[in-house]
Protein backbone atom coordinates (compact mmCIF):
# COMPACT_ATOMS: atom_id res chain seq x y z
CA UNK A 1 0.00 0.00 0.00
CA UNK A 2 1.35 3.43 -0.98
CA UNK A 3 1.03 6.02 1.75
CA UNK A 4 -0.49 9.40 1.08
CA UNK A 5 1.76 12.42 1.41
CA UNK A 6 0.69 14.84 4.13
CA UNK A 7 0.92 18.61 3.71
CA UNK A 8 0.43 21.03 6.60
CA UNK A 9 -1.21 24.26 5.42
CA UNK A 10 0.46 26.40 8.05
CA UNK A 11 3.64 28.38 8.60
CA UNK A 12 3.47 27.64 12.33
CA UNK A 13 6.50 25.69 13.56
CA UNK A 14 4.47 24.76 16.64
CA UNK A 15 1.92 22.79 14.62
CA UNK A 16 4.66 20.89 12.81
CA UNK A 17 6.33 20.10 16.13
CA UNK A 18 3.04 18.86 17.56
CA UNK A 19 2.59 16.50 14.62
CA UNK A 20 6.11 15.17 15.13
CA UNK A 21 5.19 14.60 18.78
CA UNK A 22 2.69 11.94 17.67
CA UNK A 23 5.00 10.48 15.05
CA UNK A 24 3.53 12.19 11.99
CA UNK A 25 5.79 13.83 9.43
CA UNK A 26 4.58 16.37 6.90
CA UNK A 27 5.64 18.94 4.36
CA UNK A 28 4.83 22.54 5.25
CA UNK A 29 2.78 24.50 2.73
CA UNK A 30 1.82 27.94 4.12
CA UNK A 31 -1.14 29.79 2.65
CA UNK A 32 -2.08 33.46 2.94
CA UNK A 33 -5.72 34.22 3.71
CA UNK A 34 -7.81 37.08 5.04
CA UNK A 35 -8.49 35.94 8.60
CA UNK A 36 -11.12 38.55 9.41
CA UNK A 37 -14.34 37.23 11.00
CA UNK A 38 -17.48 37.62 8.91
CA UNK A 39 -20.26 39.87 10.25
CA UNK A 40 -22.20 38.03 12.95
CA UNK A 41 -20.01 34.94 12.68
CA UNK A 42 -19.71 32.81 15.80
CA UNK A 43 -16.25 31.93 17.09
CA UNK A 44 -16.95 28.23 16.52
CA UNK A 45 -17.88 28.81 12.88
CA UNK A 46 -14.95 31.17 12.43
CA UNK A 47 -12.21 28.71 13.39
CA UNK A 48 -13.88 25.87 11.49
CA UNK A 49 -14.29 27.98 8.36
CA UNK A 50 -10.70 29.22 8.42
CA UNK A 51 -9.30 25.73 8.92
CA UNK A 52 -11.21 24.47 5.88
CA UNK A 53 -10.38 27.57 3.84
CA UNK A 54 -6.67 27.06 4.54
CA UNK A 55 -6.83 23.41 3.49
CA UNK A 56 -8.73 24.30 0.31
CA UNK A 57 -6.25 27.07 -0.52
CA UNK A 58 -3.35 24.63 -0.14
CA UNK A 59 -5.14 22.15 -2.40
CA UNK A 60 -5.49 24.87 -5.03
CA UNK A 61 -1.74 25.52 -4.85
CA UNK A 62 -0.93 21.83 -5.22
CA UNK A 63 -3.48 20.92 -7.83
CA UNK A 64 -5.15 17.53 -7.79
CA UNK A 65 -2.12 15.46 -6.90
CA UNK A 66 -2.82 11.81 -6.18
CA UNK A 67 -2.31 10.45 -2.67
CA UNK A 68 -2.20 13.95 -1.21
CA UNK A 69 -3.60 14.79 2.21
CA UNK A 70 -3.86 18.36 3.46
CA UNK A 71 -4.16 19.27 7.11
CA UNK A 72 -4.96 22.77 8.36
CA UNK A 73 -5.93 24.37 11.64
CA UNK A 74 -6.99 27.67 13.12
CA UNK A 75 -7.09 28.85 16.72
CA UNK A 76 -8.87 31.77 18.34
CA UNK A 77 -8.93 33.18 21.83
CA UNK A 78 -12.50 34.10 22.76
CA UNK A 79 -13.69 36.28 25.61
CA UNK A 80 -17.40 36.88 25.77
CA UNK A 81 -18.52 37.14 22.17
CA UNK A 82 -15.25 38.71 21.02
CA UNK A 83 -12.64 36.86 18.96
CA UNK A 84 -9.10 37.92 19.81
CA UNK A 85 -6.78 37.33 16.87
CA UNK A 86 -3.12 38.19 16.50
CA UNK A 87 -2.25 41.63 17.92
CA UNK A 88 -1.63 44.44 15.45
CA UNK A 89 0.95 46.12 17.67
CA UNK A 90 2.11 46.53 21.26
CA UNK A 91 -0.95 48.55 22.25
CA UNK A 92 -3.30 45.94 20.82
CA UNK A 93 -1.45 43.12 22.61
CA UNK A 94 -1.58 45.04 25.88
CA UNK A 95 -5.32 45.61 25.50
CA UNK A 96 -5.86 41.88 24.91
CA UNK A 97 -3.82 40.80 27.92
CA UNK A 98 -5.58 43.31 30.17
CA UNK A 99 -8.89 41.79 29.13
CA UNK A 100 -7.61 38.27 29.84
CA UNK A 101 -5.99 39.26 33.15
CA UNK A 102 -7.65 37.81 36.23
CA UNK A 103 -10.37 35.91 34.40
CA UNK A 104 -11.26 32.90 32.30
CA UNK A 105 -11.47 32.74 28.52
CA UNK A 106 -12.08 30.11 25.85
CA UNK A 107 -9.63 28.88 23.24
CA UNK A 108 -11.19 27.30 20.16
CA UNK A 109 -9.15 25.26 17.70
CA UNK A 110 -10.57 24.01 14.43
CA UNK A 111 -8.76 21.34 12.45
CA UNK A 112 -9.59 20.23 8.90
CA UNK A 113 -8.32 17.48 6.63
CA UNK A 114 -8.82 17.09 2.89
CA UNK A 115 -8.30 13.46 1.94
CA UNK A 116 -6.67 11.98 -1.12
CA UNK A 117 -10.19 11.41 -2.50
CA UNK A 118 -11.13 15.06 -1.93
CA UNK A 119 -13.28 14.29 1.10
CA UNK A 120 -13.29 17.02 3.73
CA UNK A 121 -13.43 16.23 7.44
CA UNK A 122 -13.11 18.55 10.38
CA UNK A 123 -13.21 18.76 14.17
CA UNK A 124 -13.45 21.42 16.84
CA UNK A 125 -11.77 21.59 20.23
CA UNK A 126 -12.68 23.95 23.06
CA UNK A 127 -10.51 24.65 26.09
CA UNK A 128 -10.81 27.09 28.97
CA UNK A 129 -7.89 29.02 30.38
CA UNK A 130 -7.82 31.01 33.61
CA UNK A 131 -5.23 33.79 33.92
CA UNK A 132 -3.93 35.32 37.11
CA UNK A 133 -3.79 39.10 37.35
CA UNK A 134 -1.19 40.38 34.88
CA UNK A 135 0.46 43.69 35.71
CA UNK A 136 1.21 46.36 33.11
CA UNK A 137 4.96 46.08 33.68
CA UNK A 138 4.73 42.35 32.94
CA UNK A 139 2.72 43.01 29.79
CA UNK A 140 5.33 45.47 28.53
CA UNK A 141 8.18 43.11 29.35
CA UNK A 142 6.37 40.22 27.68
CA UNK A 143 5.80 42.20 24.47
CA UNK A 144 9.51 43.09 24.42
CA UNK A 145 10.38 39.39 24.13
CA UNK A 146 8.70 39.27 20.71
CA UNK A 147 6.79 36.13 21.65
CA UNK A 148 3.20 37.44 21.58
CA UNK A 149 3.41 39.25 18.23
CA UNK A 150 2.03 36.38 16.12
CA UNK A 151 -0.09 34.59 18.72
CA UNK A 152 -3.87 34.58 18.96
CA UNK A 153 -4.89 36.51 22.05
CA UNK A 154 -1.38 37.91 22.39
CA UNK A 155 0.13 35.03 24.34
CA UNK A 156 1.78 31.62 23.96
CA UNK A 157 0.90 29.10 26.64
CA UNK A 158 3.97 27.01 25.78
CA UNK A 159 6.26 30.01 26.20
CA UNK A 160 6.86 32.69 28.80
CA UNK A 161 3.13 33.31 29.22
CA UNK A 162 2.88 29.98 31.05
CA UNK A 163 3.55 31.94 34.26
CA UNK A 164 0.26 33.82 33.74
CA UNK A 165 -1.87 30.66 33.52
CA UNK A 166 -3.57 29.58 36.76
CA UNK A 167 -5.59 26.73 35.31
CA UNK A 168 -6.38 24.94 32.05
CA UNK A 169 -9.40 22.79 31.32
CA UNK A 170 -9.25 21.05 27.97
CA UNK A 171 -6.42 20.46 25.52
CA UNK A 172 -2.97 21.93 26.04
CA UNK A 173 -2.07 21.15 22.42
CA UNK A 174 -5.33 22.77 21.32
CA UNK A 175 -4.38 25.99 23.07
CA UNK A 176 -1.00 25.77 21.34
CA UNK A 177 -2.77 25.59 17.99
CA UNK A 178 -3.33 21.95 17.03
CA UNK A 179 -5.54 19.70 19.19
CA UNK A 180 -3.77 16.35 18.96
CA UNK A 181 -6.68 14.16 20.06
CA UNK A 182 -8.91 15.41 17.25
CA UNK A 183 -6.05 15.61 14.75
CA UNK A 184 -4.94 12.03 15.38
CA UNK A 185 -8.53 10.81 14.94
CA UNK A 186 -8.90 12.59 11.58
CA UNK A 187 -5.54 11.28 10.37
CA UNK A 188 -6.27 7.74 11.53
CA UNK A 189 -9.57 7.75 9.62
CA UNK A 190 -7.61 8.77 6.52
CA UNK A 191 -5.09 5.96 7.01
CA UNK A 192 -2.20 8.00 8.37
CA UNK A 193 -0.30 6.09 11.08
CA UNK A 194 0.74 7.95 14.19
CA UNK A 195 2.42 7.20 17.48
CA UNK A 196 -0.88 6.55 19.24
CA UNK A 197 -1.31 3.37 17.23
CA UNK A 198 1.96 2.09 18.68
CA UNK A 199 1.10 3.18 22.21
CA UNK A 200 -2.39 1.65 22.15
CA UNK A 201 -1.41 -1.56 20.40
CA UNK A 202 -2.45 -4.60 22.41
CA UNK A 203 0.47 -6.69 23.71
CA UNK A 204 1.16 -9.93 21.87
Is residue 72 within 8 A of residue 52, CB to CB? The reply is yes
Number of residues that this document lists for the chain: 204
Q: Catalytic residue among 32, 34, 53, 74, which?
A: 74
DSSP codes of every residue in the chain: -PPPEEEE----HHHHHHHHHTT---EE-------PPPTT--HHHHHHHHHHHHHHHHHHHH-S-TTEEEEEEEEEEEETTEEE-S-SSHHHHHHHHHHHTTSEEEEEEEEEEE-TTS-EEEEEEEEEEEE----HHHHHHHHHTTGGGGSGGG--TTTGGGGGEEEEES-HHHHHT--HHHHHHHHHHTT---HHHHHTPPP-
Is residue 117 flagged as an active site residue?
Answer: no
Which residues are catalytically annotated? 74
Amino acid sequence: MVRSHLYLASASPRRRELLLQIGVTCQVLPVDLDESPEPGESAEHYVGRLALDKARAALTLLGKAERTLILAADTAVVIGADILGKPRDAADAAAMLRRLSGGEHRVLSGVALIGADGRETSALNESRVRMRRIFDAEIAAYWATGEPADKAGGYAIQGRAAVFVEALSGSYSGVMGLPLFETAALLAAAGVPSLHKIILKEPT
